[in-house]
């Protein structure tokens, strides 16, 4: 039987509050100051420095501005240092806008294809609602990034610079989402009226020029080739001639995408370790590589990550960035904020429970570019290259404690050579599909 908030219950609440002197202090402080400022643990702030025993060479931090392209920025940031060294320049940046254009067009096509294969789903079904919720959002996953690079290559930033809409994508996304939902309703109406599969596919294909035009309006038209020339750090001039994006990729990017694998750490009871997973209906490039995760124990994930960094290689990763993190200080620490004394109650859940009950999931992608180890080669903290510009932290770089890594980091992309033979063998097993709304299907999109 349900119970209501009666006078007896409310009187107990008032009495409990009155008996706690800290409650009055907390109330007075938070009335005038943001809760994070009041709860900030100064001991944690002074303990966590931006120095590391091992670091990877990087350029200046990049900025995704008011867009959710963190996964794309993080992916391109894996390439740019090696390109800068090849070119002999101090810093280098690839065009995030170029990949954004193709991601949007591919996502639009992917959405329409999913509408065609779910035509008999009733309005209001969980699957149809999920497909239509955010068909063109900025977020993504590692395999979506890899699929774009393999198909379209990459270009220097100057070949397709940022625009207003690439940096602030909300209006573009809203208008294109309207167009896609309109298209979905029209395709489903035509199906209900008896249109053939060939007629429906022709109707869908006829939409693509309009979507292409919308994207060109917002982002510009992506180059099919460009003249590539530059001056190195010694002021020497170089010209490499006219290149296609695929030629630039092949010539200047040494990373072998097929040698990279995405490891996840998901301790939910509904998942098992040493199991490869995929996510149904999640992706961007039709016919491209599917979302592929290998769920492993944290020790295995961390060992591969640490080994790569100690050999001078950056690591793409996804995490729940908003938890126990201060953006201005650039710190990520489980002890950074002391909320429990302020409220006089516990606020603890383990990693599996947070996933089970919607308290946490992967929201942001960045790059690990350093690790600080103790005398036993055990990690103490990690250096993080973010894409929020150079304000905050150490000129835009953040420090993450190893305990934060354990609790809020969900995936890393590592080279296969850093996996054991046992884990490598698992990559050949059939992928276990997860529902589209599974927490492991979340997209990195934090801004």
Euclidean distance between CA atoms 142 and 411, whole angstroms: 10
* SS3 of residue 271 by DSSP: coil
Q: Which of 6, 28, 70, 109 is catalytic?
A: 70
Euclidean distance between CA atoms 199 and 203, whole angstroms: 6
Active site residue 65: no
Residue of 102, 75, 436, 126 whose CA lies nearest to 291: 436
> Could you give phi then psi for residue 315, rounded to 5 degrees?
-130, 120
Q: Which of 41, 97, 364, 377 is catalytic?
A: 364
Euclidean distance between CA atoms 72 and 93, whole angstroms: 12
**Beta bridge mates, 235:** none
Cα four-point dihedral sign 297, 149, 220, 112 = negative
Could you tell me which residues come within 8 angstroms of residue 125 by beta carbon, excluding any fewer than 6 positions away? none
Active site residue 386: yes
Cα four-point dihedral sign 379, 383, 384, 385 = negative
Question: Which 3-state string (H, E, C) describes 89-129?
Answer: CCCCCECHHHHHHHHHHHHHHHHHHHHHHCCCCCCCCHHHH
Q: What is the CA radius of gyration of the chain?
A: 24
163: tokens are 């625009």
Q: Which of 109, 114, 295, 386 is catalytic?
A: 386
Q: Whose structure tokens read 């350093």?
A: 370
Active site residue 13: no
Residues that are catalytic: 70, 364, 386
């Amino acid at each position: 039987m349900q119970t209501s908030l009666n006078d007896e219950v409310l009187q107990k609440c008032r009495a409990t509050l009155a008996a706690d002197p800290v409650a009055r202090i907390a109330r007075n402080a938070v009335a005038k100051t943001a809760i994070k400022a009041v709860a900030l643990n100064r001991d944690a702030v002074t303990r966590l420095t931006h120095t590391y025993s091992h670091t990877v060479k990087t350029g200046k931090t990049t900025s995704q501005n008011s867009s959710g392209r963190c996964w794309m920025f993080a992916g391109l940031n894996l390439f740019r240092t090696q390109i800068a060294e090849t070119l002999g320049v101090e810093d280098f940046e690839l065009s995030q806008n170029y990949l954004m254009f193709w991601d949007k067009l591919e996502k639009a096509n992917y959405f329409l294809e999913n509408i065609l294969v779910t035509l008999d789903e009733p309005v209001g079904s969980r699957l149809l609602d999920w497909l239509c919720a955010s068909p063109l959002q900025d977020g993504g996953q590692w395999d979506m990034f890899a699929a774009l690079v393999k198909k379209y290559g990459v270009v220097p930033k100057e070949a397709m610079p940022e625009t207003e809409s690439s940096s602030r994508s909300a209006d573009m996304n809203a208008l294109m989402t309207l167009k896609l939902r309109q298209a979905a309703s029209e395709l489903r109406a035509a199906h209900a009226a008896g249109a053939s599969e060939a007629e429906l596919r022709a109707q869908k294909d006829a939409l693509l020029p309009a979507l292409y035009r919308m994207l060109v309006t917002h982002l510009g038209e992506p180059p099919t080739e460009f003249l590539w020339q530059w001056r190195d750090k010694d002021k020497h001039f170089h010209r490499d001639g006219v290149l296609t994006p695929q030629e630039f990729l092949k010539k200047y990017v040494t990373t072998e995408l097929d040698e990279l694998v995405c490891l996840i750490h998901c301790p939910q009871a509904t998942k098992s370790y040493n199991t490869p997973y995929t996510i149904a209906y999640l992706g961007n490039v039709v016919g491209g590589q599917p979302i592929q995760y290998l769920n492993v124990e944290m020790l295995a994930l961390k060992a591969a990550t640490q080994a790569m960094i100690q050999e001078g290689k950056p690591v793409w990763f996804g995490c729940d960035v908003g938890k126990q993190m201060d953006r201005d200080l650039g710190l990520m620490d489980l002890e950074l904020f002391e909320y429990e004394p302020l409220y006089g109650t516990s606020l603890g859940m383990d990693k599996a429970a947070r996933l089970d009950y919607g308290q946490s999931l992967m929201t942001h992608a960045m790059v690990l570019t350093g690790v600080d180890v103790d005398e036993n080669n055990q990690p103490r903290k990690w250096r993080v290259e973010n894409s929020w510009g150079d304000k905050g932290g150490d000129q835009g770089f953040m420090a993450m404690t190893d305990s934060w890594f354990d609790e809020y980091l969900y995936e890393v992309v590592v080279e296969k050579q850093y996996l054991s033979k046992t884990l490598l063998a698992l990559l050949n097993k059939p992928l276990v599909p997860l529902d589209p709304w599974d927490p492991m299907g979340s997209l990195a999109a934090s801004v």
